[in-house]
Every structure is written in C-alpha cells, then in structure tokens.
Amino acid sequence: MFSTDWDSIVRPLGFPPVERADRLVAGRNSRVHRLEGGNRRVVVKQYFLEGGEPSARQRREYRGLRFLWESGVRAIPEPLWNDFEQGALVLSFIEGAPAATTSISLTDIDVATDFLVALRETAQRPGALDLDDATDAAFRLGDLTKGIERRVNRLVREGQTPETLAAALRDLVERALPAAFTAASHHARALLGDQTLGVEARTLSPSDFGFHNAIRTRTGLAFVDFEHFGWDDPAKTIADFVLHPGMEIEANLRAAFATGMLDRFSVFDPRLTERTRLLGPLYAVKWATILLNEFIPAAAARRSFARADTSGDESRLLDQIDKAREMLARADAFQALAGL
C-alpha cells in the first residue's frame, strides 16, 4: 500500500501540516504530487514497489540527484528526503510550465546539450564511479542485442491482449520486430564488432532525457525525472532523443541536437558518430518493444499505478501498436532523422 498520509512523509523535513495535495502530470512508472503547507511547497514522488521491495528507480533517482546537487548542478530538483519504506522521494518544487507545452527553439537545444556536457564534467568528480549504470545501459553491442532479444521474447511469452488486437500484436512480435532487429544488428555487428566501450567514452545521463522531462522557469530550463540515471553511452543518449515517442518537436531540432552532441562529445570518443549511426536503428527497435510493454501484465500494473486510471485501456493499447509500427519505420530512417 502507498501512503497518502502526506504529513508522515514530509514530517522529517519540519514541513508544516499539509493543507493541499495536487496530482501533477503522471509519468509511466510513478505518481507525483505537489504538497502545500504554510508558505512551503514540495513535490512527493511515489514509486511502484516491485514485489513489495523498494524500487531501483527510487534508488537511482535519489542517488543521482544527490550526487549532481552536491556537484553544483542546479537545473534539477533538489532531493530533500528519501523514504524507502513508503516508496517516496521528496523533492524541491520547481515553478514553471512543462517545456513540452511550449515552443521549443534552437536555443533550447543548446541548453539541453550544455546540461548533458555539465553532467559529463561531473563524471570526473570523486564518487562518480560509485554510481550505478543507467537503466538498460549497454557498453557492448552484444549486451544491447541480448537486451532487445529478451524484450522480444518476453512479449512472445507474456504478452496479453484483447482478442480484437491479437492479430496486430502477433504480426508485430512474430514478423516486423524480428525482421527489423535482424537487419539492424547484422549491419552494426559487421561494422562495429563487439568491443567494450571504454570508461573514458561513457557519460552520466538521465537516460530518459528530453523536453518531455523539462520545466521552463523564469530563469531557464530545469530537467526532471532521473529514475533511469547513471553511466551510459552517449550514442544511446543521442539516439533516444532523436527517437523518443514522448516528444513532439520538429525534425530539424532533433537533428540539431544530434549534431551538437556529436560536436561536443566526439572529443571523448572519435567513433561516436559511427556508433550513433549504426546503433540508432537498434535503439528504434528497442523503443518499439518498450511501447509494447502495455501488453505485459507486470509492466501494465506499473503503468496503471502511475495513471491511477484504467479507463480507455483498449484504445490505449491500439495507440501503442500504432506507435510501435511508427517506431520501426524510424529504424529505417534513423540516419536521416539524426541528420547523419
């Protein structure tokens, strides 16, 4: 059970009695509320307990934000209190509007790139090597392909769907996904091999990075949602931004981000452009499997927890199938999408 006894969650901070709790826009894995008491406001993020155990997402987010805040990064929420027992993390409230609801400019792209460069710089600080790898980080081609294979096999083994959608899901899982995966993995393996990416070429990353997880404040952009934070491959950061289905920005801005990141990060990895070009289609296939997680009962339970709403489930599932098909089309078009 998740506590809605807000006072018990924020009491260790000396927070006044909670007078108001407003649900903010929910993610896909957690619930987020803004609490008000006296003249103070904070955000409480509640995580889905995996089998009754504390969430790895909560641990990553708290440790990541704490490390970055102590390193002087300020375009993030400050972690104020962490309560594993109640699956709750208390964060400072950032006043502003979701960046995704505003017009995104080339200046915003530069700010996003600068933020990731700043995270790369914190990776040199004491304690950075003690941080976890980002969720699904892969530093060898073989690790990436095995991870995608596991996702596809899980869909085959555990996928459940209303009968009206069964044929469409089966076509994706048994035909389209394997075909796209085979083509992308064979091409990458032939040109990249399977060497491990050196530590010097890695970076610290929110992993799920983009304007869908940004707030436009009076002083600039702030970035939120560090559930997947950790050591990652910059090629993955670039590919995920270009491909992300949760962001609706113009194609030229996605390409500008890729160009800016390659300009700034290639000094640490001369093969970054080549790796991004070859790994991008594989990350598109991976995104297609993620979009189909709604058909796996365990993942669907986490989504329902975050939404606190199960209305319109069949329509939502159909949308996920359509999005997965579109993502597979992006696998073929990745180089053009990234301006490579």
3-state secondary structure 64-116: HHHHHHHCCCCCCCCEEEEECCCCEEEEECCCCEEHHHCCCCHHHHHHHHHHH
Averaged pLDDT for residues 91-116: 96
Buried b (16+ CB within 10 A) or exposed e, 22-32: eeeebbbbbbb
- Cβ atoms of 30 and 57 within 8 Å: the answer is yes
Q: pLDDT, tens digit, for every residue of 65-87?
A: 999 999 999 999 999 999 988 88
The 3-state DSSP composition of the chain as helix, strand, coil percent (nearest 5) reads 55, 15, 30
- Cβ atoms of 164 and 316 within 8 Å: the answer is no
How does strand 40-47 pair with strand 88-92? antiparallel
Write down the pLDDT at residue 109.
Answer: 98
Averaged pLDDT for residues 228-233: 97
Averaged pLDDT for residues 311-340: 89
The torsion angles phi and psi of 127, rounded to 5 degrees, stand at 95, -15
Burial of 45 per CB tally in 10 Å (0-12, 13-18, 19+)? buried
**Whether domain 6-93 has CATH 3.30.200.20:** yes
User: HSE (CB half, 13 Å, CA atoms) of 61?
Assistant: 31
Task: Enumerate the β-bridge partners of residue 46.
Answer: 31, 88
Write down the pLDDT at residue 315.
Answer: 86
Q: Highest-confidence range of 45-59, 131-145, 293-307, by mean pLDDT? A: 131-145
Q: pLDDT, tens digit, for every residue of 327-339?
A: 999 999 999 999 9
Write down the pLDDT at residue 310.
Answer: 52
Q: pLDDT, tens digit, for every residue of 24-72?
A: 865 667 889 999 999 999 999 998 876 656 688 999 999 999 999 999 9
Averaged pLDDT for residues 224-249: 96
String of DSSP letters for 41-65: EEEEEEE--BTTBPPHHHHHHHHHH
Residue type, 311: S
Q: Where are the domains of the chain?
A: 6-93, 98-337
- Cβ atoms of 244 and 210 within 8 Å: the answer is yes
CATH topology for 98-337?
Answer: Aminoglycoside 3'-phosphotransferase; Chain: A, domain 2 (3.90.1200)
pLDDT at 306 over 80: no
CA–CA distance, 177 with 136 (Å, rounded to integer): 19
Q: pLDDT, tens digit, for every residue of 147-189?
A: 999 999 999 888 888 888 889 999 999 999 999 999 999 999 9
CA–CA distance, 138 with 6 (Å, rounded to integer): 38
Reported confidence tier of residue 1, pLDDT bands at 50, 70, 90: very low
pLDDT at 312 over 60: no
Is the model more confident about 27 or about 104?
A: 104
CA–CA distance, 47 with 32 (Å, rounded to integer): 9
**For all residues of the chain together, what is the average pLDDT?**
91
> Which residues, 6+ apart, have CB-to-CB distance to 171 below 8 Å?
none
pLDDT at 214 over 50: yes
Dig out the tokens for 135 from the structure: 């969720």
Reported confidence tier of residue 141, pLDDT bands at 50, 70, 90: very high
CA–CA distance, 222 with 212 (Å, rounded to integer): 11
Cα dihedral angle (102, 107, 113, 118), rounded to 10 degrees?
-100
pTM exceeding the 0.75 threshold for the entire prediction: yes
